[in-house]
Amino acid sequence: MNSDGGFDIERIRRDFPVLKREVNGRPLVYLDNAATSHRPVQVMAEITRFYRDINSNIHRGVHTLSVEATERFEAVRERMRDFIGAPHASEIIFTRNTTESINLVAHAWGRTFLEAGDEVLISEIEHHSNIVPWQMLRDARGIALRHIPMLPDGTLDLDEARRLIGPRTKLLSITLMSNALGTIVPVAELAELARAQGARVLVDAAQAAPHMPIDVGDLGADFLACSAHKMLGPTGVGVLWGRRELLEEMPPFLGGGDMIASVSLEESTWNELPHKFEAGTPNIAGVVGFGAALDYLEAVGMDAIRSHEVDLTSYALDRLIDVPGVTLYGPLDPELRGGVVSFGLEGVHPHDIGQVLDGEGVAIRAGHHCAQPVMRRLDIAATARASFYLYNTREEVDVLEAAVREAADFFGGFGG
């Protein structure tokens, strides 16, 4: 055991073999977790076991392997229900990723229930995947798309939000944690205002679900979207949760096998939930592997993960703020942000910061992070972004800081 009490970082790190890798002759320091996390050996073993010992299609055969595959797959639906505190497992729909989950709602719900004059409200700090589907819906249906503005510290303007939420608001679609700045949005508060106006609430939990406890009831959500690949699971698996009454009145998103009850050449009737929204063979092994990821996260504990990241984030903010020429973006209170530290260095473009850091084995992201409106509001083209997860350490933050200082020296002579 160690100083984090119960949170055995050495043991956790042993489960992620890639962390032993060297990059450019240095030990890898992986700080790009907001883009995608690594997966522990338990997840890889579960996927291998599935392909080796079972490997069948689901929901179709009477043979033993198909029955076992179906059981494994459906068990993960129940695990996910429990993970986000949803009432019914049949409300969990497996998709490819967050982006597909949001598009599913925009199509199946948005195109059915919204019409000209209705408003969808998003925020200025959304990921492109929670902006573009609504712009497409706006262009197809003539609805209005409005946004809650961002304040200079990366939080949302809640006074303006109160003014914007009104009787025309039909949907509030909002991120719980910004991937560009780390900002944690007070979704429960905003959801209450929206629901009081009869609006539905979609929560983009792509960044939040991997890093903090989530309860859809406490959030006041109607829909929630996330991606397995950011939460120790495989790529190609996403989740959409929706309240049963809403999912039931929505038409299907994609048509094909598995989503029908019966088909004639003239017409079809839809299968029951959740199968109505899962057309075609899904990423079966991926979903099964995702189950092992959820087990891993719960064994460590989402509260423990969150406190570990609050510790790393406040440590990182303290270390970086002292580096001459560094600008930190986003709220400075680590309780108000996830484990994401976006920064700039005077006279050094983020791309060059990322390059010098890579030379030191430190993997960060440089760019607009699929959040160009945030960059525009901050009047910058890009930031450098370090993002943490349960396996990162304070020592790795020290390596980050040293590498940032090296980048400053390398391009030297700017701003001091």
Ligand X SMILES: Cc1ncc(COP(=O)(O)O)c(C=O)c1O
Sole binder of ligand X in the list 37, 98, 123, 283 (CB under 6 A): 98
How many residues are recorded in the chain? 416
Nearer to ligand X, 9 or 145 (CB): 145
Q: Which of 274, 230, 219, 222 is nearest to 252 (CA)?
A: 274
Q: List, in sequence order, every beta strand (DSSP E) within 254-349.
A: 260-263, 268-270, 326-329, 340-345
Yes or no: say if 317 and 333 are a contact pair by the CB < 8 Å rule.
Answer: no
Sole binder of another protein in the list 137, 143, 180, 250 (CB under 8 A): 180
- What letters, b where the CB count within 10 A reaches 16 and e where it falls short, cover 226-254? bbbbbbbbbebbbbbbbbeebbeebebbe
Yes or no: say if 280 and 257 are a contact pair by the CB < 8 Å rule.
Answer: yes
226 included as an active-site residue: no
CB of 242 to ligand X, least distance (A): 17
When asked if residue 283 is in the footprint of ligand X (CB under 6 A), the reply is: no
When asked if residue 342 is in the footprint of ligand X (CB under 6 A), the reply is: no
Query: Could you tell me which stretch among 58-66, 151-159, 271-279, 367-375 binds another protein (CB under 8 A)?
Result: 367-375
Nearer to another protein, 315 or 411 (CB): 411
Could you say which of ligand X, another protein, none residue 410 binds, taking C-beta under 5 to 8 angstroms by partner kind?
A: another protein
Could you say which of another protein, ligand X, none residue 204 binds, taking C-beta under 5 to 8 angstroms by partner kind?
A: ligand X
Yes or no: say if 147 and 134 are a contact pair by the CB < 8 Å rule.
Answer: no
CB of 280 to ligand X, least distance (A): 18
CB of 101 to another protein, least distance (A): 12
Site for another protein in 103-132 (CB under 8 A): 127-129
Name 399's bridge partners.
none
Tokens matching residue 267: 């017409």
Query: Could you tell me which stretch among 168-176, 181-189, 331-339, 356-364 binds another protein (CB under 8 A)?
Result: 356-364
Cα separation, 55 vs 47, in Å, equals 10
Q: How many CA atoms lie within 13 A of 37 on its CB side?
A: 27
Burial of residue 211, with CB atoms counted within 10 A of its CB: 0-12 exposed, 13-18 middle, 19 or more buried:
buried
Nearer to ligand X, 184 or 247 (CB): 184
Which stretches of the chain bind ligand X, using CB under 6 A? 34, 97-99, 127, 129-130, 175, 179, 204, 206-207, 227, 370
Which stretches of the chain bind another protein, using CB under 8 A? 24-25, 34-36, 97, 99, 127-129, 179-180, 348-352, 355-356, 358-359, 365-372, 375, 380-382, 410-411, 413
